[in-house]
Each structure stands twice: as structure tokens, then as C-alpha cells.
């Protein structure tokens, strides 16, 4: 399971995956934002909500004990769609190789 990230803003702080038990509450909360649109997120169903023309969030279906939410701000819908289309699952080796020197790994 990957961590959610905020894109398009100055912040790149990852958000942890959310607990599966919280999924229904997150979906209910986002229903106050907009109606949802079904989208694919790395081969799984996701629900996209629109806060504004340049602010979107996707909640991906529960996988195991968690789910992820991906939020993009200061992006057009086309840019956010491109971001979603570019996501992929990384192997442990790919993930570790992408960490900067400050990243924590089993060897460090």
C-alpha cells in the first residue's frame, strides 16, 4: 500500500494510509463536497470529488487494512487525471531506490 501525497502545492508531506474502518466516514464526509465520479487508481476503483476547478481528491477502495486518499490542488482536472494515470505500484527495490539519503530502510 502506498502513502497518499498532496500534489500541486508547496507541501510534499506524505499522508499515511487511512484505516479501512474509517472508509465509510471519509466517503460520507466527501459527499458534502460534490457528487463522486468513478475513476481508476492503479487498477482499483476510486471515487473522485471536486472541491473546485483546481482542487480534487480521490478516495481509493479499501485494500487489506487501509485505503488511500490522493489530493491535488492548483491543478487542472486534466493535470490531475494525468497524475492519476501515471501512478503505479512499485516493488520494494524500486521504492527503496527512490528514497533520498535521509530515507529510512532496513539497512540504515
Question: pLDDT by residue for the chain (108 residues), tens digit each?
Answer: 334 444 443 344 456 788 999 999 999 999 999 999 999 999 999 999 999 999 999 999 999 999 999 998 898 999 999 999 988 888 888 877 877 777 666 665
For residue 72, give Cα distances in angstroms to 46, 83, 91, 97, 108. Answer: 14, 9, 24, 25, 32
| pTM of the model as a whole | 0.75
77 near 58, Cβ under 8 Å? no
pLDDT score of 6 = 43
5 near 12, Cβ under 8 Å? yes
pLDDT score of 47 = 96
Rounded CA-CA distance 31/44 in Å is 20
Cβ burial of 70 (10 Å; 0-12, 13-18, 19+) is buried
Amino acid at each position: 500500500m502506498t502513502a497518499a501525497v498532496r500534489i500541486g502545492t508547496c507541501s510534499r508531506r506524505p499522508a499515511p494510509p487511512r484505516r479501512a474502518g474509517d472508509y465509510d466516514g471519509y466517503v460520507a464526509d466527501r459527499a458534502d463536497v460534490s457528487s463522486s465520479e468513478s475513476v481508476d487508481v492503479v487498477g482499483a476503483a476510486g471515487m473522485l470529488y471536486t472541491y473546485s476547478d483546481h482542487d480534487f481528491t480521490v478516495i481509493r477502495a479499501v485494500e487489506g487494512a487501509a485505503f488511500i486518499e490522493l489530493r491535488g490542488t492548483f491543478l487542472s482536472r486534466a493535470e490531475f487525471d494525468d497524475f492519476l494515470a501515471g501512478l503505479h505500484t512499485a516493488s520494494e527495490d524500486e521504492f527503496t531506490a527512490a528514497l533520498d539519503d535521509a530515507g529510512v530502510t532496513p539497512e540504515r
